[in-house]
Chain A
Amino acid sequence: MLKNTLEGKGRIVGGAVIVLLFLFPLFLPRFYIYLVSIILLTGLLATSLNLPLGYGGIFQFHHAVFYGVGAYGAALTITKSGLSPWFGFVVAPLTAALLSLIMGLICIRLSKLYFGMLQISLGSLVWIIVYRWYSFTGGDNGIHGIPVPNVISSPNSAYYFTLLVTLLSLWALYKIINSPFGSALQGIRDNPVRSAMIGINVKLHQLVVLVIAGFFAGVAGSLFIVVDTAVFPDMLFWTLSLEVLIMCLLGGWFTFLGPMLGAAITIFMRTFVSGFTDYWTLPLGILMMLVIFFLPNGILGYIEEKLHGSLIEQTVKE
């Protein structure tokens, strides 16, 4: 009963946030629309990372590679193939998912830290190729002024496109996590041996979740093109991967919306701190240390804990 009303409240808040997001372009200045778009797509990237990381217990250290490859896949399809630009948005997630499958097949033999580090090395190979292949990828300059379809080229329509795609992707990710597949995944995270014993194919589940995560990272990458009309090799550098990891941890990596919150906080911080000083990684690092020491479950994880705690107390009182 109590749980239902709580869920009901959550729905109302969630609905209000979504309505507010749709109304933003009516009253927010253009810069903030751009900022919210970036937060949305980065949040999608972080949420897709959280699928293998938080729910699967896989050390996906180099997630940005799929984001960057998705973005480059879309950008190159749009600028070089001569096909309809929309085609790029189909190519982006598929390229990322394919790369994720290949890297997954190589890395999946190893576990935990070894997995993560092998992934970083494979990802660095991809990065260095993109960084050096001037004739194809534009090298360290990247590709600028990518012609996106007219319908989504104005700031507001780009925003709505990003918002719609992000919401759809989040919905899909939510469904995946709450499906039998998602439960099996969390079972593997908590006890791989026992999961294998009851007949779950552990490696296959992990591989599938990596491909799904790669797919949605590719979606986020193609959204970046819509918002920024540019790609550059930093999008698949390892520092971005760790920044996304930080977002997951900051928001709470055992919660669904935690990574989105983490992305929002990180990007707001970067924008406003770098507005008045050159030093913005310093506060981010300090914030990170505070979270690691005092809020290991992240902000949303902490709030959930408190709510859940009070929930139990109330039930006892009743």
Chain B
Amino acid sequence: MDVLYTIFSPKLMSQIFVGLSRTVILFIVASGLSLILGVLRIPNIWHGSLYMVGAFMTFTISGAFGGGSVGFWMALILAPLGVAFVSLIAERSFFQHLYEREHLMLLLLTFAFSLVFGDLVKMVWGMEYKSVPVPRIFQGSIHLFGGLPFPRYNVFLLVIGPVVAVALWLIVNKTKVGKISRAAAVDREMVGAVGINVSWVFAFVFMIGCLLAGLGGALVAPTVNVSLGMDHTLIMEAFLIVIIGGLGNIWGALLGALIFGLAQSLGILIWPQFGIVFPYAAVIVVLLLRPTGLLKSTW
């Protein structure tokens, strides 16, 4: 019993739960990225900026509604929608003209967008840190195994994660537009030939993917300092997750996010200074064993 207690110590358990809450954020952002990569073949670096914009919008919207619980819930709905709207405009006016071009051009176009949006966020929200209050019902902590405190907000995140995963799975697999988008990912011309307006299907998929980036930003906002540059490390992590999971595979994104989130939180236990190295090392190990990702890629 003692051995078991040493292995599953409260400290370990609480680190696991911290890792899982991180996993939820990573999964939500990475699944959007994966969706866009799988269907549209765009390596969307702009995704990170949209995540940041989502977080800043959450700050503004929750402030506009008085900063209380109502503000938070409104922000959680409106911020992702706002991000989705911005992305739809960008897709219609820029991206859709480049689908026939090389991936490299698309990659650089999304990078150009992230450069522009980095400055736009600086113009609109300034250089300072912003903080978003945790809504009242999620303030405080619950007590887990052996009395270690675990923030209520993280419990909320752990609930939201599976909800988003299932919703996304339903959209992709059970709705008509989801089925069309999966078909278009395989053979765009054929789908066009049977009389479907592929262009708008792509716009829809792009918008849903970016909405997820905004949602990730809105959800993370109460737990971190909302700041410029929060997009830079996150987008890299999201890319790695998508790669180890298999491009375009939603469950792969979930698996990748789990590996990434847990490797990070457990790595901190093992070697505090280099805790952040562990997920990257895990990525390398996965890629050495399976260069095209753990689950089947849609490419």
A residues adjacent to B (C-beta < 8 A): 59, 61, 106, 109-110, 112-114, 116-118, 120-122, 124-125, 128-129, 132-134, 237-239, 242, 245-246, 249, 278-282, 284-286, 288-289, 292-293, 296
For residue A110, which residue of chain B has the nearest CB?
B291
Q: How far is the CA of A110 from the CA of B297 in the complex (A)?
A: 14
Contact A285 B116, beta carbon cutoff 8 Å: yes
Contact B108 A129, beta carbon cutoff 8 Å: no
Contact B291 A121, beta carbon cutoff 8 Å: no
Contact A132 B277, beta carbon cutoff 8 Å: yes
Q: Does B280 contact A (CB under 8 A)?
A: yes
Q: Does B112 contact A (CB under 8 A)?
A: yes
Interchain CB contact (< 8 A) of A245 among B108, B118, B119, B280: B108
Q: Does B97 contact A (CB under 8 A)?
A: yes
For residue B281, which residue of chain A has the nearest CB?
A125
Q: Which B residues touch A245, using CB under 8 A? A: 104, 108, 111
**Min CB–CB distance A24 → chain B (angstroms):** 30
* Given A279-B119, A288-B111, A121 and B277 contact (CB-CB distance below 8 Å): no
Contact B123 A121, beta carbon cutoff 8 Å: no
For residue B94, which residue of chain A has the nearest CB?
A289
For residue B112, which residue of chain A has the nearest CB?
A288
Interface residue SS majority, chain B: helix
Interchain CB contact (< 8 A) of A246 among B108, B113, B243: B108
Q: How far is the CA of A125 from the CA of B281 in the complex (A)?
A: 7
Pick the interface stretch among B50-58, B158-166, B282-290: B282-290
Interchain CB contact (< 8 A) of A121 among B243, B247, B292: B243
* Given A125-B280, A292-B98, A113 and B105 contact (CB-CB distance below 8 Å): no
Contact A238 B236, beta carbon cutoff 8 Å: yes
Q: Which A residues touch B109, using CB under 8 A? A: 288-289, 292
For residue B98, which residue of chain A has the nearest CB?
A292
Interchain CB contact (< 8 A) of A281 among B116, B236, B283: B116
Interface residues of B in 18-67 (CB under 8 A from A): 41, 43, 45
Can you list 27 A-B contacts (CB < 8 A)? Answer: A61-B107, A106-B288, A110-B291, A113-B103, A114-B247, A120-B236, A121-B280, A124-B236, A128-B276, A242-B108, A242-B111, A245-B111, A246-B112, A279-B123, A281-B116, A281-B119, A282-B118, A285-B111, A285-B115, A286-B116, A288-B109, A288-B111, A288-B112, A289-B109, A289-B112, A289-B113, A296-B105
* Given A125-B284, A282-B120, A286-B116, A109 and B108 contact (CB-CB distance below 8 Å): no
Q: Which A residues touch B111, using CB under 8 A? A: 242, 245-246, 285, 288
Question: Which 7 pairs, one residue from A and one from B, show the smallest C-beta to C-beta distance?
Answer: A285-B115, A285-B116, A282-B119, A288-B112, A281-B115, A125-B280, A285-B112
Q: How far is the CA of A116 from the CA of B108 in the complex (A)?
A: 13
For residue B115, which residue of chain A has the nearest CB?
A285
**Min CB–CB distance B38 → chain A (angstroms):** 12
Q: Which A residues touch B103, using CB under 8 A? A: 59, 112-113
Contact B291 A109, beta carbon cutoff 8 Å: yes
Residue among B115, B240, B284 facing the most chain A CB atoms (10 A cut-off): B115
Given contacts A124-B240, A246-B112, A292-B112, list 19 more A-B pairs with CB under 8 A. Answer: A106-B288, A114-B243, A114-B291, A114-B292, A118-B287, A118-B291, A121-B239, A238-B236, A239-B232, A242-B108, A279-B122, A281-B115, A282-B116, A282-B118, A285-B114, A285-B119, A293-B97, A296-B101, A296-B105
**Min CB–CB distance B295 → chain A (angstroms):** 15
Q: How far is the CA of A105 from the CA of B299 in the complex (A)?
A: 23
For residue A112, which residue of chain B has the nearest CB?
B103
Interface residues of B in 232-289 (CB under 8 A from A): 232, 236, 239-240, 243, 247, 273-274, 276-277, 280-281, 283-284, 287-288
Q: How far is the CA of A114 from the CA of B293 in the complex (A)?
A: 10
Interchain CB contact (< 8 A) of B276 among A116, A132, A280: A132
For residue A131, which residue of chain B has the nearest CB?
B276
Interchain CB contact (< 8 A) of A282 among B101, B115, B239, B247: B115
**Min CB–CB distance A279 → chain B (angstroms):** 4
Q: Which A residues touch B107, using CB under 8 A? A: 61, 242
Q: How far is the CA of A270 from the CA of B284 in the complex (A)?
A: 35
Residue among B116, B120, B276, B281 facing the most chain A CB atoms (10 A cut-off): B116
Contact A121 B287, beta carbon cutoff 8 Å: yes
Q: How far is the CA of A306 from the CA of B35 in the complex (A)?
A: 41
Q: Which B residues touch A114, using CB under 8 A? A: 243, 247, 291-292
For residue B97, which residue of chain A has the nearest CB?
A293
Contact B104 A59, beta carbon cutoff 8 Å: yes
Q: Which A residues touch B284, using CB under 8 A? A: 121-122, 125
